Amino acid sequence: MKFQTERPVTWQVCIACANETTELDPHPRCQTCGGLLEVQHRPPALTSAELIQRFTERRGQRPGAPASGVWRFREVVLPSAHDIVSHPEGNTPLLHREVIDHWTGAERLLLKHEGHNPTGSFKDRGMTVGVTQAKRIRARAVACASTGNTSASLAAYAAQAGLPALVLVPADQVAIGKLAQTLAYGARTLLVRGDFDDCLRLVEEASRRLGVYLLNSINPFRIEGQKTIILELLQQLAWQPPDWIVLPAGNLGNTAAFGKALLEAYRWGLIPRLPRLAAVQAAGAAPFARSFAEDFQNRYAVRAETVATAIRIGAPASFERAVHAIRETDGVVLAVTDEAILEAKAVVDGSGVGCEPASAASVAGVRDLIQRGLMAPDQHAVAVLTGHILKDPGLLLRYHREMEPPPPGANRPIEIAPELGAIEAVLGEA
């Protein structure tokens, strides 16, 4: 189908066959060819200056008003939504730490810390829109497959909306903080004896059979919410885009969302030029980096293995959308080793900022880009930290207490007898 005459405010289009469907169509994929859907909006009725003014006014909210860093941008996210499910979310800081500049080689690297969202990851931005959409289409229940953050976020927003939530996660491969949250917020949690890619395949089948609304990032409304990471950081930079935006990449929903946000912001006159995207994968889970190296001639699926369990994904679902994002922004895709991720994480943690392992891939990626001469040290870069340090305390304790030989950033705790002399002995050693 194509909308022939006047277009609605918002509709969905298949990125494979260009079939169009309504905003309230609940199917997660194109019903004609099975391709991924994209949400499209009519260009906003306001000029770019008027839009920016409106976003600015909403940022300086009246005291007590719900200040969401997602719905502040509602004209370009989901203009027709009224009854929204918001925690609220977003409003995450843009940080700078000299020790991180020193480690990466950048002169002034900014960190957009999405771990400051209500459930501790960027997923809340997509989930407020996804669960709002679930209410609009009168879903009976919602579901997702996850490496842990999506499930924690879905569980929290479904609880708020009063919707039953079903989540599928790989057994024994989810960081403890994420699993604990998912259980505590009340989602029905299935530990699948398989990996994330198995979980995603299964949950798609289950949602089709059981008529449960699928809220993985293949759902295009999730992407609309995640666009606001970019919109908010551009607003924080007074709409002067950086040269680079660097992010960790797994299932590629976020890479797709970043590309869409940048292209729309450029098209609608919010920014004068496009930054380059750098998507960073873990070397043991890098099918997208491999495709990029071959100019996206081939698509790969791998058996994924990495300490950064959030991005332990071998067959990313949003591949085509992400290819578009990288191509249109003259972007790059790289892979960094687990050693580099752990080293970057120790530096980010040691700076007092802290992040989860997958997030540190973006900081390791900045160092790699500079070392390879792709990024100049004086270029303006923003690295996105996608999750909170406490998401993965298991890895933290292994790193600091157990790994042999102690890694470079290890901070071994020292057990002592309850005596002053013992403290003096330790300090004397230092």
Residue ranges that bind ligand F0G, judged by CB under 6 A? 121, 123, 146-150, 217, 248-255, 310-311, 356, 358-359, 386-387
Smallest distance from ligand F0G to CB 9, Å:
26
Residues β-bridged to residue 142:
165, 213
Smallest distance from ligand F0G to CB 235, Å:
22
Q: At what angle do helices 220-236 and 48-59 cross, to 10 degrees?
A: 80
Q: Which is nearer to ligand F0G, 29 or 388 (CB)?
A: 388
Smallest distance from ligand F0G to CB 290, Å:
15
What are the two backbone dihedrals, phi and then psi, of residue 99, each rounded to the nearest 5 degrees?
Answer: -65, -30
Q: Which is nearer to ligand F0G, 20 or 392 (CB)?
A: 392
| Nearest Cα to Cα of residue 246 among 91, 106, 389 | 106
Q: Is 6 exposed, middle or buried (0-12, 13-18, 19+ CB in 10 A)?
A: exposed
Counted residue by residue, the chain has a size of: 430
Q: Which is nearer to ligand F0G, 44 or 115 (CB)?
A: 115
Q: Which is nearer to ligand F0G, 207 or 254 (CB)?
A: 254
Q: Which is nearer to ligand F0G, 394 or 406 (CB)?
A: 394
* Whether the Cβ atoms of residue 230 and residue 223 lie closer than 8 Å to each other: no
Q: Which is nearer to ligand F0G, 51 or 307 (CB)?
A: 307
Smallest distance from ligand F0G to CB 159, Å:
17
| Nearest Cα to Cα of residue 309 among 234, 203, 398, 215 | 398
Q: Which is nearer to ligand F0G, 147 or 379 (CB)?
A: 147
List Cβ neighbours of 47 (8 Å cut-off, separation of 6 or more).
Answer: 269
* Whether the Cβ atoms of residue 57 and residue 49 lie closer than 8 Å to each other: no
Q: Which is nearer to ligand F0G, 44 or 318 (CB)?
A: 318
Q: Which residues of 164-202 are buried (b: 16+ CB within 10 A; e: fewer)?
A: ebbbbbbeebbbebbbbbbeebebebbebeebbbbbbee
Q: Which is nearer to ligand F0G, 163 or 360 (CB)?
A: 360
User: Is the CA virtual torsion 96, 100, 102, 107 positive or negative?
Assistant: negative
Smallest distance from ligand F0G to CB 173, Å:
11
Nearest-angstrom CA–CA distance, 32 and 14: 9
Smallest distance from ligand F0G to CB 316, Å:
7
Smallest distance from ligand F0G to CB 388, Å:
9
- Residue 278 DSSP one-character state: E
Q: Which is nearer to ligand F0G, 149 or 207 (CB)?
A: 149
* Whether the Cβ atoms of residue 25 and residue 136 lie closer than 8 Å to each other: no
Smallest distance from ligand F0G to CB 248, Å:
4
Nearest-angstrom CA–CA distance, 316 and 310: 12
* Whether the Cβ atoms of residue 3 and residue 74 lie closer than 8 Å to each other: no
Q: Which amino acid, one-letter code, is at 388?
A: H
Smallest distance from ligand F0G to CB 249, Å:
5
**208 token code pair:** 């089709």
Smallest distance from ligand F0G to CB 88, Å:
20
Place of tokens 């551009």: 234
* Whether the Cβ atoms of residue 285 and residue 313 lie closer than 8 Å to each other: yes
